[in-house]
A and B are shown apart, each in its own frame.
Chain A
Amino acid sequence: MPSSIMIPEDIPFRGYQLKALGSFITTDPEISQSNLFISGYSGTGKTHVLKKFFELNSEHLVYAFLNPVELVSWKPLFQAVARVIQSTLNARDDSASTSMDPLRVEEPYHLVNFVEHTFKTHSTAKGSITFYLVLDGFDSLQDVDFQLLLKFLKINELITQGDLKIIYTVQDPSFLQKYASFSIPKIVFPRYNQTEINKVLQTAKVDDLSNSTVFHEKLNSFDNGTISTEICKNFVYNFINLIVQTFHSYTGNNIFALSDLIDLKWPSYLTYTNENNFFDPIALYKSSLPLFLRTDDGLQDDSLKSVQLSGSKNTDQTYELSTIAKYLLISAYFCSYLEPKYDLSIFSKKSYIKAGRSAYGRRKRAKTNPRHLQPSLFAIERLLAIFQSIFPSDELLSTNEVGSLSSLLDEEVLIRANVEVFQNLAELNSLKLIMTTNIKNIDFLSYKMKWKVNVPWEIIVEIADSINFDISQYFSFVDE
Chain B
Amino acid sequence: MSKVVRSVKNVTKGYSTPEIKVRNATSNDPWGPVGGDMAEIAQMTFNDSQTFQHIMDMLDKRLNDKGKNWRHVLKSLKVLDYILHEGSELVVTWARKNIYIIRTLREFQHIDEDGRDVGQNIRVSAKELTALIMDEERLRVERQDRKSWKSRVTGIEEF
Partners in one complex: no
